[in-house]
Amino acid sequence: MVARGAGKIVFTASMMSFRGGMMIPSYAASKGGIAQLTKALANEWAPKGVNVNAIAPGYIATDINPELRENQETNKFILDRIPAGRWGTPADLQGAAVFLASEASNYVHGVVLPVDGGWLAR
């Protein structure tokens, strides 16, 4: 992409890119690293025509987290923090992905875009 002078990189970060979390230090550290890598590469490659950004999903209902959603106490704790009042779906990430991969984001560099139902706003 750098040699070609054009391209779009969209990393997958997380809400843990912004917060430390509890009982998941390795996950939080790795997602914090993705956020900083996004910014560092954007600084280096923006002048060469390459956009580097990331999407930071919030709580997304997937096959790996049914135990969180099925536990009434945990699910309530999570939903009480999300202004949208629901878990996200994989489809909720589509708009952000299309935007960051399209020409509409040509002047967007180094952004870690939360798609979290407002979780970070609380």
The gap from C-alpha 62 to its chain's centroid, in whole angstroms, comes to: 15
Q: First and final CA of the chain: distance in angstroms?
A: 38
Asked if 59 is an active-site residue, the reply is: no
Residue from 27, 66, 74, 104 carrying the catalytic annotation:
27
Q: Where in the sequence numbering do the catalytic residues fall?
A: 27
